[in-house]
DNA sequence: TATTATGCCTCGCTATACAAGGTATCGCAA
DNA sequence: TTGCGATACCTTGTATAGCGAGGCATAATA
């Protein structure tokens, strides 16, 4: 589907925080999961996600921990991210913001 | 309401094209109209809109024409913009894109 | 005459998506 | 054991665009 960068911008942070609310995840997993859940509509790139994770961590919204992959899966060490209380608060705010924003745009687009 | 810049990004062009489909408008009018129609939720700035109009014109999506303000209103000359056929085609595509995008984001946010 | 609103514009700062490139580890097949 | 693909992480450079801040001109109004 390949959406233009201007659209993608605002969605990265809310989506990451929302996923991490479900359970801890590592970067590579997030990329694959987003692509899967959107049925390929959102094609996230590693070069986008990794810096975003670092920014969120620097801002105290998430924290990380290196862990081995479970024996059943194998593979190299993974950096698991979990959401912090501050990140949770942010998530709520950003989801509201997202819905307020899209509805404001709809209003103008529909000529209300 | 003051939405963050990352959210605003993707919405400028679709909104401008959509408004110009209704009728020709000038920049200052568009700023005020967007603010009004969104009930102040979208607070567009001139420093955002004017360059965007110039980019759209350079891309052939809109064209401009200087006209006097009608006697009833007064004021200085205005630069009216009208949408071109290419801009109309773009508009349709971008509105679809917008709705596809927001629905894809919703899917991930809701954990579908 | 001074102020306010209208109406246009540009410069500089900043943030960030993404392409491109790199490193390391593991499982598996030739 | 060597090679390869998948997994998993990272950084650098480029391009773009919102917006604060400033500026200019014109018209109505106080």
Instruction: State how far the Cα of A19 lies from the Cα of A67, in Å rounded to an integer.
Output: 19
For residues A46 and A29, the answer to whether their CB atoms sit within 8 Å is no
| Nucleotide D25: closest residue by CA–C1' | B76
For residues B7 and A98, the answer to whether their CB atoms sit within 8 Å is yes
Please tell me the predicted confidence (pLDDT) of residue B88: 97
- Which residues, listed in sequence order, are joined to residue A66 by a DSSP beta bridge? A79
Over 60: is that where the pLDDT of A112 sits?
A: no
Instruction: State how far the Cα of A39 lies from the Cα of B110, in Å rounded to an integer.
Output: 14
Lowest mean pLDDT among A49-58, B53-62, B76-85, B96-105: B96-105
Instruction: State how far the Cα of B49 lies from the Cα of B19, in Å rounded to an integer.
Output: 13
Interface ipTM: 0.86
pLDDT in tens, B10-69: 999 999 999 999 999 999 999 999 988 988 889 899 999 999 999 999 999 999 999 998
Which chain B residue's Cα is nearest to A35?
B108
E strands, B1-112, in order: 25-26, 62-67, 78-83
- CATH number (domain holding residue A10): 1.10.10.10
Residues of A in contact with B22 (CB under 8 A): 111
Classify residue B112: in a domain, yes or no: no
Structural domain boundaries enclosing B23: 5-107
Over 90: is that where the pLDDT of A107 sits?
A: no
From the CA of B71 to the C1' of D19: give the distance in Å: 33
In the DSSP assignment, the letter for residue A110 is T
């Amino acid at each position: 589907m390949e959406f233009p960068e201007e659209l993608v911008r605002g969605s990265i942070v809310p989506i990451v925080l929302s996923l991490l609310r479900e359970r801890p995840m590592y970067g590579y997993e997030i990329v694959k999961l987003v692509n899967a859940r959107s049925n390929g509509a959102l094609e996230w790139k590693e070069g986008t996600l990794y810096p975003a994770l670092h920014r969120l961590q620097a801002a105290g919204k998430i924290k990380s921990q290196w862990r081995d992959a479970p024996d059943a899966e194998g593979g190299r060490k993974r950096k698991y991210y979990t959401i912090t209380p501050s990140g949770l608060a942010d998530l709520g705010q950003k989801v509201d913001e997202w819905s307020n924003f899209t509805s404001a745009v709809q209003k103008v687009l529909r000529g209300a």
